[in-house]
Structure 1
Amino acid sequence: MTYVKQMQRIVDEYRLEGLPWPTSAKNIADWAISTGRWELPAAAVRRRCADDIASAMREEYMTDRKGRRVRLLHPAPLETEGQTEMIWDDIRSAPREHMQISFQHRRRGIVGDCRQMKVDVDSYNDAHPDAEPIQIVFDFTMDLAELEAADEAA
């Protein structure tokens, strides 16, 4: 069973116990730890540390010459020693190829999130045919223009 499936099973068990729902992931974690359903496996320590480091790198920003807040470090999925690995580089010194791969990878993630949202909204609307359908616009052109205008006005 994958780790994700194990986590989903913990959520299922939490709900079957009749504990408060809806709830936060922290509440479920407290319950899972206190009941011995979860502990960090030794093999996961390195992965957890790497994930925490990646999260911290994702949160590091700088101000560019035009005053824009820019993410400093960017990951790109690159092949090393026969395996694909996320390699991080600094936007100020990274080669163009690294940045292009990084931006394409990030865009694919955004598209994937939008696709899943569309599936979720469509499913919700289908399950509630008597309600007005929820409409989601996936063209972000106007949103980006508004945000850029607000930045320029600030």
Structure 2
Amino acid sequence: MTYNEQLQHIWHEYEKEHGYLPARPRDAVVWGAQRGMIEVPAPDPFDKLADDMSRALREEYATDRLGRRYRKNHAVRVTKGGVQHTFWAILGHAPRDHMQKAFIQRRQQIVGDCVQLATDVEVYNDQNPDQPPLPMLLDFRDDVEERRFWDGKRAA
């Protein structure tokens, strides 16, 4: 069983024992560790620091001369020798190639999320034929313009 499959197994067993109610993953892994279903890993302090730094970089924003708030740091994921690495760079200093890859990867993440969301909604609707189907529109043009409008109102 792969590590992900092991975690999924623990989640499903935890859910079954607790009546399939919404739950926190932390509660499930504590439950699984207490039952010997998974070994608690020894933390690598540098992995923790690197994860914290990635989170901090992802959350750093700046404002340009026109008042537009933008994400300052951008990541590109690269797989070398079967290991995934993430390289960060600062917008405005990063090579064009890095920024192009970062934007393409972020767009692919959004598309992947939309495909999965549409599938999940379709399956839910199929599994609940006695209820009105939940709609899922994936044209975000109006949502983007509305958010920009209201964000601009808040900034003013």
The interval holding the TM-score normalised by the smaller chain is 0.7 to 0.9
**Residue 89 of structure 2: SS of its match in structure 1?**
strand
User: Are the aligned partners of 2:76 and 2:87 in contact in 1 as well (CA < 8 Å)?
Assistant: yes
Partners of 1:103 and 1:90 in 2: how far apart?
13
* 1:3/1:51 CA distance change after superposition, 3 Å: farther
CA RMSD of aligned residues (A): 2.5
* 1:38/1:82 CA distance change after superposition, 3 Å: closer
Q: Does 1:141 align with 2:113?
A: no
Total equivalences in the alignment: 152
Q: TM-score, normalised by structure 2?
A: 0.82
Which residue does the alignment assign to 1:61? Answer: 61
Percent of aligned positions that are identical: 39
Q: Which runs of 5+ in 2 are unaligned?
A: none
Partners of 2:24 and 2:147 in 1: how far apart?
31
Partners of 1:81 and 1:4 in 2: how far apart?
21
Q: CA deviation at 1:49?
A: 5.0
Q: TM-score, normalised by structure 1?
A: 0.83
Which residue does the alignment assign to 2:99? Answer: 99
* 1:37/1:81 CA distance change after superposition, 3 Å: closer
Which residue does the alignment assign to 1:127? Answer: 127
Q: Which runs of 5+ in 1 are unaligned?
A: none
Which residue does the alignment assign to 2:18? Answer: 19
Q: CA deviation at 1:97?
A: 1.5
